[in-house]
Structure 1
């Protein structure tokens, strides 16, 4: 898989704290047996009214944010149930990264396992980026995955933390199965040495 080292594009401001996975991907869109079509359900109740008409006050329905690759969210983004469909829906809609002050733990793991980059920044930085995205919708952000930085079109730069394992997963496009297979030689070597030391533990 092609290495992903930079994400650059417009940003959608959605500063809603505790936006849960039930809101990100409502239950009626979980009936599919594959990942197709989940972009239609993304944040459905925010995007559409009870008649199915687009809400004009929703940023995702505003043409100035069309094609954005980055979502700027609020604290505890992705809380709620563990549905992986929330991650798939964000990706199908076109988002490659979500920037927020904090993320729910299970959502964080699901996202990184599917190559959706989650960037955690301090609240002050999030507020600055949100105001910029509202004032200048055509402005873009650039995320350097190797340097772990977010740079705005006006020059502000913010460093973000990420564990070495998750960083590699996103850059190389690996999931947890890939990581296990990548370590198969070390696993087999451990197994051999273990049974040399403890031969009675081997099941014949």
Structure 2
């Protein structure tokens, strides 16, 4: 099967030409577009998650040969979590080539963090099935880039860090207020406001309250660092 121009451009962005184009098509097909004759990317997402995990575990062990498991675990989680996968997906324009059903497209599916993260893992699986582990490993290391070397910063839990910042200054713990909710019941989108006693506030939107709270805390931390 010959790929369309959009998927050919996507191949160029990720640096891999598929010998089996059907694998890429399956990887970018959301469940909302599945049918008896069209497979979606859920099974590939399952596989890609495992391939990504192995590559990141290897990379972390190689980067810090003396680190204990308790140190490696939060670094690993920071590299494989959905937020990170979604960030990579945005950088390579994965949302632009997703095959979505009409309702999912109308509800902003191309921008949803969970959907983008799953699709990124599915693409990893497609490359693995198309060309093997070494090629998939090289792709992951290339796309994750300096995230691997700066993972110590990313591994910090933003909500915990913000609470520690407030406590160190004699403030009460931050408050997280849901200011908006949109989207259908099966795929809600939350907007959360992180607030401090002094009136400092930052907002973030994500597909779950937890993700939105973390993002809001991270945004508020960045704002506080700029002000100091």
TM-score normalised by the shorter chain: which range applies? under 0.3
Instruction: Give the number of the structure whose residues are more often helix, by fraction.
Output: 2
User: Of the two structures, which has the highest relative contact order with CA contacts closer than 8 Å and spacing of 6 or more?
Assistant: 1
Q: TM-score, normalised by structure 1?
A: 0.28
TM-score relative to the length of structure 2 = 0.26
